[in-house]
Amino acid sequence: MAFSRRDARYGLAVGGLVVDTHATAVGPGQGAWRRVGGVVDGRARLRAGRVELVLRAGLALTAISVGGRSFSRTSGSTLFDPGVLAALRLRVRVGSVTPWLEGAATFWPAGHTLILDGS
């Protein structure tokens, strides 16, 4: 959801972020994790006729939940894991339709290590 005046050059946006469960083999079982949270970003728009370029940069405020699977004893944890994002969107108005093409990147600066304890 973006907030700005109709013809404003700058705006703010908020959104949700969900990354489905990932898993990796760890000894006889698996370590699994997923990420949920929100995104807050600032936007700048540059227009020239029917073409619009939108630049975005912001924060991803997320929690990552980690747990074990298929072990005799499993445990898990949830921790705050913020990231940063940047995106570039190109929009071209063609009649009443405005298709767009976007490239985006998200970076999670904190590294995490999955530990198998008690094996």
Model confidence pLDDT, tens digit, residues 65-107: 988 877 777 778 899 999 999 999 999 999 999 899 999 999 9
Q: How many Cβ atoms are within 10 Å of 63's Cβ, its own excluded?
A: 13
What does the pLDDT look like over 15-26, one tens digit per residue?
998 999 888 887
**For 60, how many CA atoms within 13 A lie in the half-sphere containing its CB?**
24
Residue 36 has pLDDT above 90, yes or no: yes
pTM: 0.72
Q: Report the SS3 class of residue 93.
A: coil
CA angle 86, 51, 57 (to 5 degrees): 15
- Which tokens sit at 118? 């008690």
30's CB contacts (< 8 A; 6+ apart) are: 23, 24, 68, 69, 70
